[in-house]
A = this chain, B = another copy of it.
Amino acid sequence: MSKPSVLVTGADGFVGSHLVEYLQSAGYTDIFATTYAESEWLSAHLPADHIFAGDLTDSDHVFAMVQKIKPDWVIHLASLSFVGDSFSKTQFVMDTNTHIQYVMLEAVRQHAPGARFLSIGSATCYGPAAVDLDPEHISEDYPFAPNNPYAVSKLTQEHLAQMYHLTYDLDVVRVRPFNQIGPRQAEDFVVPAFAKQIAAIEAGQQDALRVGNLEAVRDFTDVRDAVRAYERLMLEGVRGEVYNLGSGQGVKIQTILDTLRKLSEADILVQPDESRMRPADIPIFVADARKLHALGWQPSIPLEETLRDVLAFERQKMEKEA
């Protein structure tokens, strides 16, 4: 039986690029990809006529694309994803993420109504309300408490997807990922931020590793495990349902730091940095992801392996930039 055709939006991003690689390795042959601008990475991985460069808020562009592809699956990763910056760009983040989502859903409704659509939310929607409940087991029925514009925009995306399911019976599955880590992640996330500094110290370009709050506990999943979870949701997720994506295991930022230091032969001096020392508004934030795990998915990559790969990636990047 041939594999479903898959349209991946945001395919040259952190998660998208790993997803494309995984789908290829798993024998998917009809992989279509969107990217905002031309992408060297995508061109090296997919045939030119499978790559659609353009703005996903442009409905003419998107409708024509979906009409042409008529994909079996849509994995809609594209999204403005900056959290901190979103405060100064609230309306822009809200508009863009709302329009991207609406245009994609409407394109699927009109031109590929039988497609399965994966709507990517974010665990940030739970926010600080989880603290008063059980922050080590945040399940899908926890109340929403978005505390940044990005989180609000991801909730809006999710509600739109749900609305298309309820109203038009679109085959929507929703997912709320907790922290995803791995090579290629942007440096404003904690793991690459540490790894990059270690690579710089190893190269003699930096004296000490500057750190913020090390006490926070988070739920980390290797992005290469996460993309397998997306496939699992496309195969086995229940239409209309929502799933947390996480390991279900809490890891202290201190542990990330300690493990990374062990992976380096350099002597890594650690220096608390007041400017990074935001009080952790949410000390513990860990998924109850049993609903997803019950579909037959489990994370498989040990934390140390992920961190080793991130460190290797940051070292390579540093060499290339040198």
Listed in ascending order, the chain A residues whose CB lies under 8 Å from chain B are 87, 90-91, 94-95, 98-99, 102, 106, 127-128, 141, 143-149, 151-152, 155-156, 159-160, 162-163, 166-167
Contacts and interface: CB of A to CB of B under 8 A. Distances in A.
Given A95-B98, A145-B166, 19 more contacts: A87-B167, A91-B98, A91-B99, A94-B98, A94-B156, A94-B160, A141-B143, A144-B144, A144-B162, A145-B162, A146-B159, A146-B162, A146-B166, A147-B163, A147-B167, A151-B159, A152-B160, A152-B163, A156-B156
A248 B144 CA distance: 24
Nearest to A151: B163
Nearest to A242: B143
Contacts of A141: 143
Nearest to A281: B166
A143 B140 CA distance: 10
A151 B159 CA distance: 9
A87 to B, nearest CB: 8
Interface SS, A side: helix
A152 B127 CA distance: 20
Contact of A159 (B87, B152, B162, B166): B152
CB-based closest 8 A-B pairs: A147-B166, A152-B159, A156-B156, A146-B163, A146-B159, A155-B159, A152-B163, A147-B167
A151 B160 CA distance: 10
A166 B98 contact: no
Contacts of A128: 166
A98 B151 CA distance: 14
